[in-house]
Amino acid sequence: MHLKTLTLKGFKSFASATTLRLQPGITCVVGPNGSGKSNVVDALTWVMGEHSAKSLRGGKMEDVIFAGTTGPEGRSALGRAEVSLTIDNTDGALPIEFAEVTITRTMFRTGGSEYAINGQNCRLLDVQELLSDSGIGREMHVIVGQGQIDAVLHASPEERRAFIEEAAGVLKHRRRKEKALRK
Q: Which residues are annotated as a binding site?
A: 32-39
Q: Is 46 in the site for ligand ATP (CB under 6 A)?
A: no
Q: Give the residue among 57, 79, 52 at the shortest CA–CA distance from 68.
A: 79
Q: Does 148 bind Mg ion (CB under 5 A)?
A: no
- DSSP for residue 65: B
Q: Which residues contact 126 (CB under 8 A, 6 or more apart)?
A: 115, 117
Whether the Cβ atoms of residue 62 and residue 99 lie closer than 8 Å to each other:
no
| Using rule CB under 5 A, residue 118 touches Mg ion | no
Window 18 to 37, contacts with Mg ion (CB under 5 A)? 37
Q: Is the dihedral of CA 64, 70, 75, 78 positive or negative?
A: positive
> By C-beta, is 76 or 146 nearer to Mg ion?
146
What order do you get walking across the sheet with 2-9 strand by strand?
18-21, 2-9, 80-88, 100-108, 113-117, 120-122
Site string for ligand ATP, 120-149 (x = CB under 6 A): --------------------------x---
The rounded distance, in Å, linking the Cα atoms of 85 and 31 is: 22
Q: Shortest gap between Cβ of 81 and ligand ATP (angstroms)?
A: 8
Binding pattern for the stretch 33-72 against Mg ion, x by CB under 5 A and - elsewhere:
----xx----------------------------------
Q: Using CB under 6 A, which of the segments 60-68, 98-106, 118-126, 155-163 binds ligand ATP? A: 60-68
Binding site for Mg ion (CB under 5 A): 37-38, 146
Binding site for ligand ATP (CB under 6 A): 12-13, 31, 33-39, 63, 65-67, 146
